[in-house]
Amino acid sequence: MAMSKFVTKYAALLAALIAAPVAAQSIKPGAGAPMPAGCPVGGPSQPTPKYPMEVYGAAGRVTLVLDIDRCGQVDQVWIETDSGYAAMDYAAVATAKDWRLSPEYRDGAAVPSRVRLPIDFARPTPQQMADYHAQAQAKWDLIWPLTQVPEVATARDGSLDGYLPDALPMDEGSATELMVKARRDGHEVPDGELGWPALRISDDRGAFQWLLIEDGHPAAPSLIRQRLVSDGKKSFYASRVLCGAAKPAACAKLEKMVRDWPRQYPGAPFPKQLSAEPPLPPRQTPSKRPLGPSRLVPEDPKAPTDPAARPAWRRG
């Protein structure tokens, strides 16, 4: 069941509460020719990708292929070889799309080009790991009591009601205001949750998942806040609904739908002491992906591409 996946990943979400003391290291393409006339002001810029906290403690290499225009601006980003960790791949792409590289010159004129760049995410040093653990534990000592709730009995199959009311008050503000806040501060859940867009937020109260009800739904604008809690024996969702619909009947229908949610399956209880080695998600075997045609660079018959391939990011 989809709702159980968030519970099993609480350790990775808690890791996001702590600022990263280490960044990715990137292999620079080297100095290039000056920007041609008629291009936006500014020279080459290649900020270092941020180390993704979801996989803190891991190392990996992402090989990107960038299609750049005559001004060195990135038009498309391709993942040629992934790192084995999706979070690293996303971090590399998110930064690379805003890079500006030195353009290629042919016969004295700047031309669009395709560039291959490996990006290395180095494993934190033992001292960085120790510092990270100390920071994480200090913050967790404040958060852990807030996550504890009275024991909830499970069914014979170990499941719990899909909707369990949360005693923690909803944040101040209207449904619309809180949606804006969630969009600003949250990380989007691919494919959403229970048919709705979903965002994950970690703060000094714990780990949350917000389900947004919008886009013409009868109960819009509304949201459901799911919070990860533990009763000392297991961890699970506790939920709270904020309905902003103008018609009371729409809110009543939403409440009934939430109370009829499919059952959830709890995860392990929250430990009071965090592990010195944060648990990592399963690492996939890095794979080389086919490259598709560039929108800017003429096709090279010596470097065949796959027309079905899609870039990880494309401008416009």
Q: How far is CA 308 from CA 29, 72, 99, 148, 313, in A?
A: 28, 26, 26, 49, 15
- Please give the Cα distance from 115 to 296 (Å, whole number): 12
Strand residues in 107-214 grouped as ranges (E): 109-111, 113-121, 187-188, 198-203, 206-213
Give the pairing of strands 206-213 and 222-230.
antiparallel
Q: What is the pLDDT of residue 32?
A: 60
- Where residue 297 falls among pLDDT bands split at 50, 70, 90? confident
Supply 304's token pair.
Answer: 């065949």
Q: What is the mean pLDDT of residues 306-314?
A: 92
What domains does the chain contain, in order, with CATH numbers? 3-11+126-259 (no CATH), 22-123+286-314 (3.30.1150)
Amino acid at 167: A
pLDDT tens readout for residues 173-210: 999 999 999 999 888 887 888 888 999 998 889 999 99
The pTM for the full model equals 0.66
Q: How far is CA 63 from CA 17, 27, 87, 96, 267, in A?
A: 28, 10, 14, 11, 35
**% of the chain residues with pLDDT over 90:** 65
Q: What is the pLDDT of residue 65?
A: 94
Give the pairing of strands 187-188 and 235-243.
unpaired
